[in-house]
Amino acid sequence: MSEMSTGLTATLILLAIALFVHEPWRWIGIFIGNRIDVQSPWFQWVRSVATALVAGLVMRLILFPAGALAGLGLGVRGLAMAAGIAAYFLLGRTLAVGVGTGALVLVVAQSLFG
């Protein structure tokens, strides 16, 4: 596959994979979501599944990161995450404040202990 990484062949392969094996999950979700009764237990269950799935993704990105974030210690990442959550709850439940505090603590903690 690597020799096809550039050029039109690669473009067509990417398009085919996107359209035939990736996008259909969205179509199926739309089809089901269009017919499902939002008051039904099924809908409430799917909603819990989607929420737990994204929460699992968050933990994977923090505990088992890829790229440059993996170069920072687990303690630094965990501390910054905890600080972001604490700032969100203590300082008026603002998204930007929580995310900004987390990023700031990450930089400071890495500079001090990294």
Partner 1 sequence: MIPADDYEPPRPETDDAAEWRGLSRSAVFRRGLAVALTVPGLILAASSAGFGALSRDAGFSLFNSVFMMAAFFALPAQVVMVDQMARGASLSAGALVVTLTGIRLLPMCVVLMPYLKGPRATRLGFLLAGHFIAVTAWMEGWRRLPHLPAEHRLDHFLGIGTGLLGSTLIGTAFGYELAGVVPPLVSAVLLFLTPVYFLLSLIAAAAALSDRYAIVAGVVLGPPIYLLVPGFDLLLTGLIGGTIAHFAARHREARP
- Identify residues 22-81 at the interface with partner 1 (CB under 8 A): 22-30, 32-34, 36, 38-39, 41, 43-69, 71-72, 77, 80-81
Long-range contacts formed by 74-79: CB under 8 A, 24+ apart: 75/109, 75/113, 76/106, 76/109, 76/110, 76/113, 76/114, 77/106, 79/105, 79/109
Long-range contacts formed by 86-90: CB under 8 A, 24+ apart: none
Q: How far is the CB of 60 from partner 1 (least distance, A)?
A: 5
- The single residue among 74, 90, 91, 103 that binds partner 1, judged by CB under 8 A, is 103
C-alpha span between 57 and 36 (Å, rounded): 26
Footprint on residues 1-20 left by partner 1 (CB under 8 A): 1-2, 4-7, 10-11, 13-15, 17-20
Footprint on residues 80-99 left by partner 1 (CB under 8 A): 80-81, 84-85, 88, 93, 95-96, 98-99
Total residues binding partner 1 (CB under 8 A):
77
